[in-house]
Amino acid sequence: MTAADPLARLVSQARETRAVVVGGGIGGLVAALELAKVGMPVTLLEASDRVGGLVRSADVAGIRLDVGAESFATRGGTVRALVDELGLGGDVVPPAAHGAWVAGLPGGAAAPLPKGGVLGIPDNPWDPEVRRIIGWGGAWRAYRDRLLPPLTIGHDRSLGHLVRKRLGGAVLDRLVAPVTSGVYSARPDDIDVDLAAPGLNAALTRTGSLTGAVAELRGERQVAPGGAVAGIEGGIARLVDALVARLEDLGVEVRAEAPVIGIAPAEDGRWGVRLAPPADADAEEALTADIVIVAVPEAEARRLLSPVVPALDPEPGPAPVVEIVTLVLDAPALDDHPRGNGVLTVPHSSRAKALTHVTAKWEWVRRAAGEGVHVVRVSFGAQGEDPATADLGDEDATALALTEAAALLGVPLEANRLRGAHRERYVQSLPGSALGRAAEVAAARGAVRAIPGLGATGAWLSGTGLAQVVPDAVAEADRVRRAALWGHGEPQV
């Protein structure tokens, strides 16, 4: 290759294009990887003392466990492709097929959540598993769906409104709300059907009923949207370790305890990135970069970007808070996984939002825990309400989690069964399928894209979940990288 060679020029241009990625969650780590792959010098700045963001692990009673995200949706294949690229493909494992339960039914009953629904909407209200949850009255009410005219003026965007109107309150409260609350931390009324279940409204018009539409979608897709997930033996947090190792191989500087406090234009069209001074120093540090990708949660992203992206609204949307209490218990009574892989709850029927029976769901955790020892994760906080644990100290939060776990699992669990506990608080992004969210995100993306050398990614833009965050980070890094190397034209190679 000679200097005049366009390929050689590209190689050196990439090497001279300095990039900073702000935020070390999965979005930031993946964006840094995409930039570093083409030879760009990259620095990743993470505010806290560890990278990974909402993907976290902790040692609880001697077992290394995921205490944040614990699986990934297999749809789209992008997370799997990343896992393979990082050499973890051989360790991908499916969850056990025990299914989930719903608790908080009339009389305090619990029952297996019927398989075959879309967002909890059943395809047949007379199915005994469905009728057991919604009762005879609920089944007759849902059956009216078949008799109602299919066409409304326009169509319903609100999932809650659509389900209430066509199938009634029992289906909404006992089947759909537990799923949206457990999966999206949102009320059905706030979910946009067209984004959460694409094609459902069109199928409703075609088939003449909502249950018919669910049956048609299920037939086409085989699984409910978002239904298929996988885990990694040893924990999803291994993905973070593997990403960091790959970044370091590629020469990326990964800096923890490096909170960014400002971004401002620098000389020659470059960007200055200001870091908070360390506790033992007064002077701020500043880095200069040709491109900056911001991969932090919404409130912080809007605060950092709005001074340099005039069209970006500085006001963030609401951010649901959830708390997860992980319990390790001596409880042979749980050996038979009495509530399958876990329990979703009818909203307001208990103080917890959901429970995962981790040792039932993941075989590798069962092996790591040993005979008669069980791991249970209790989640608090849903639908915009503060978690019931919010004002409690760790000991009281653990005690509440234990009481809720016993009630949801239908098994007595005394305090002396507890081997260890871990509590973690998370601020989540609104789901991408929240009503009105698509327009807000499009406006934010449009504003950032108008500014050369800047990019933004992360769950607040892509929607929550690794299957959303990973492809978005890849695409955003690619967009900014291309613009830096080729302007907006086509590659000349």
Which 185-224 residues touch ligand FAD, going by CB under 6 A?
Answer: none
CA distance 125 to 103: 19
DSSP letter at 197 equals: S
List 14, 19, 21, 22, residue binding ligand FAD (CB under 6 A) = 22
Query: Contact with ligand FAD (CB under 6 A): which of 25, 212, 316, 471?
Result: 25
CB of 165 to ligand FAD, least distance (A): 31
Contact, 132 vs 106, CB < 8 A?
no
Q: Is 287 in the site for ligand FAD (CB under 6 A)?
A: no
Sole binder of ligand FAD in the list 21, 55, 105, 407 (CB under 6 A) = 55
Residue listed under structure tokens 């949706």: 73
Per-residue string for binding with ligand FAD, 432-471, x by CB under 6 A? Answer: --------------------------xx----xxxx-x--
Q: How far is the CB of 467 from ligand FAD (least distance, A)?
A: 6
Contact indicator for 226, 423 with CB cutoff of 8 Å: no
**Euclidean distance between CA atoms 208 and 205, whole angstroms:** 5
Residue 199 tokens read as 């094609």
Q: Find where tokens 């911001």 sit.
A: 294
94: Cβ contacts below 8 Å, ≥ 6 apart: 230, 231
Which residue in the set 34, 70, 298, 476 belongs to the binding site for ligand FAD (CB under 6 A)?
Answer: 70
Neighbour-count burial of 303, counting CB atoms closer than 10 A to its CB (0-12 exposed, 13-18 middle, 19+ buried): middle
**Helix (H) / strand (E) containing 361:** helix 358-361
Between residues 125 and 225, which has the closer beta carbon with respect to ligand FAD? 225
Q: In the complex, what is the shortest distance from the CB of residue 22 to ligand FAD, in angstroms, rounded to a whole number?
A: 5
Residue 240 one-letter amino acid: V
Site for ligand FAD in 225-264 (CB under 6 A): 259-260
19 phi/psi in degrees, rounded to 5: -120, 145
Radius of gyration of the chain (CA): 24
CA 359, CA 314: separation in Å to the nearest integer?
A: 43
Which span sits near ligand FAD by CB under 6 A: 62-70, 190-198, 205-213, 392-400? Answer: 62-70
Q: Does residue 344 bind ligand FAD (CB under 6 A)?
A: no
Quick check: 431 binds ligand FAD (CB under 6 A)?
Answer: no
| Residue 397 found at the interface with ligand FAD (CB under 6 A) | no
Burial of 136 (0-12, 13-18, 19+ CB in 10 A): exposed
Among 95, 117, 297, 387, binds ligand FAD (CB under 6 A): 297
According to the binding rule CB under 6 A, does residue 125 interact with ligand FAD?
no
Q: Is 296 among the residues that bind ligand FAD (CB under 6 A)?
A: yes
131 to each of 124, 136, 138, 333, 421, how far by Cα in Å? Answer: 9, 6, 7, 29, 37
Q: What spatial distance separates the first Cα and last Cα of the chain, rounded to whole Å?
A: 13
68 binds ligand FAD (CB under 6 A): yes
CB of 72 to ligand FAD, least distance (A): 5
With contacts defined by CB under 6 A, name the span among 46-54, 249-257, 266-274, 480-488 that binds ligand FAD.
46-54
26 binds ligand FAD (CB under 6 A): yes
Comparison of 52 and 125: residue with beta carbon closer to ligand FAD: 52
Q: Applying CB under 6 A, does 387 fall inside the site for ligand FAD?
A: no
Of the pair 183, 210, the CB lying nearest ligand FAD is at 183
Contacts with ligand FAD: how many residues (CB under 6 A)? 37
Q: Under a CB-based contact definition with an 8 Å cutoff, are residues 401 and 417 in contact?
A: no
Q: Residue numbers of the site for ligand FAD (CB under 6 A)?
A: 22-28, 45-48, 53-55, 68-73, 259-260, 295-297, 300, 322, 324, 426, 428, 458-459, 464-467, 469
